[in-house]
């Protein structure tokens, strides 16, 4: 992967929503999820402190559960 491929938000904008290698369209949902999680992590870092790993883990866990619920109206019990 190239350097610009490792920053999803900028890569999506630069490539206009297409894959760098196969040129298929990438859904806008993934861009908005990346932006939302980035803003959520910034908010956690400001409120709890940048080294509070438990806050980041909890936010990631809640986003995972929310996305599973949005997709299938179910939450996998293994989570």
Are 63 and 69 in contact, with CB atoms under 8 Å apart? Answer: no
Per-10-residue mean pLDDT of the chain, 79 residues long, equals 74 79 80 85 82 82 85 76
What is the predicted pLDDT for the residue at 79?
A: 65
Q: What is the 3-state secondary structure (H, E, C) of 6-60?
A: HCHHHHHHHCCCECCCCCCECCHHHHHHHHHHHHHHHHHHHHHCCCCHHHHHHHH
Model confidence pLDDT, tens digit, residues 55-77: 888 888 888 888 888 888 877 77
What is the predicted pLDDT for the residue at 40?
A: 87
What is the predicted pLDDT for the residue at 69?
A: 85
pTM of this structure: 0.70
């Amino acid at each position: 992967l190239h350097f610009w491929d490792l920053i999803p938000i900028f890569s999506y904008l630069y490539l206009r929503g297409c894959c760098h290698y196969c040129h298929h369209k990438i859904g806008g949902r993934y861009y908005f999820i990346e932006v939302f999680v980035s803003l959520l992590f910034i908010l956690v870092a400001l409120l709890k402190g940048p080294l509070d790993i438990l806050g980041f883990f909890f936010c990631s866990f809640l986003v995972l559960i929310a996305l599973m619920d949005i997709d299938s109206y179910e939450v996998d019990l293994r989570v």
